[in-house]
Amino acid sequence: MKDKKFIISGVIVFLILATFPFWYNRGKAAPAPEVELTAKAKAAKVCVRSTDYMKAEHMQLLDVWRDSVVRRGDRIYVSPSGQEYNMSLSNTCLDCHSNKAEFCDRCHNYASVRPYCWDCHIDNPKENS
């Protein structure tokens, strides 16, 4: 037990270093982003599912849509409200949500995710036309 003071001070230094990011950034949490809706999206009022569902599960929904459209050719989505939608990211989703920078990107950047949807799907069907 002769090295007690070295061990304890070592442990303290380690704890300080390991928790440094937490206390250094304390109270500086980035505020949750506000997304903006386009006029068209506002007018539509509802998305294909409820807003909460879309916020949490849109990626799963898109995954199901993709498999259905590409593999089986079934392209009509009847939402719980009974409305029919063409299952298309380019032509349905991005037609309403044509403001990628203010809608998609804000949340994706906040959550630090980099989906590669827009490598192929054209991000803004109306802009640059």
Give the binding site for another protein (CB under 8 A).
48-50, 53, 64, 66, 68, 70-80, 82, 87, 89-91, 116, 119-122, 125, 129
Q: Provide the sign of the torsion angle of the four alpha carbons 106, 107, 108, 111, taken in this order.
A: positive
> DSSP E strands: which ranges in the chain?
76-78, 84-86
Look at residues 84, 85, 104, 108 and name the one whose alpha carbon lies nearest to residue 94. 104
CB count, 10 Å around CB of 45?
7
The smaller minimum CB distance to another protein, of residues 68 and 108, is found at 68
Q: How far apart are CA 53 and CA 91, in angstroms?
A: 21
Least CB distance to another protein at residue 98 (A): 10
CB count, 10 Å around CB of 18?
9
The smaller minimum CB distance to another protein, of residues 28 and 71, is found at 71
> DSSP E strands: which ranges in 58-114?
76-78, 84-86
The smaller minimum CB distance to another protein, of residues 53 and 107, is found at 53
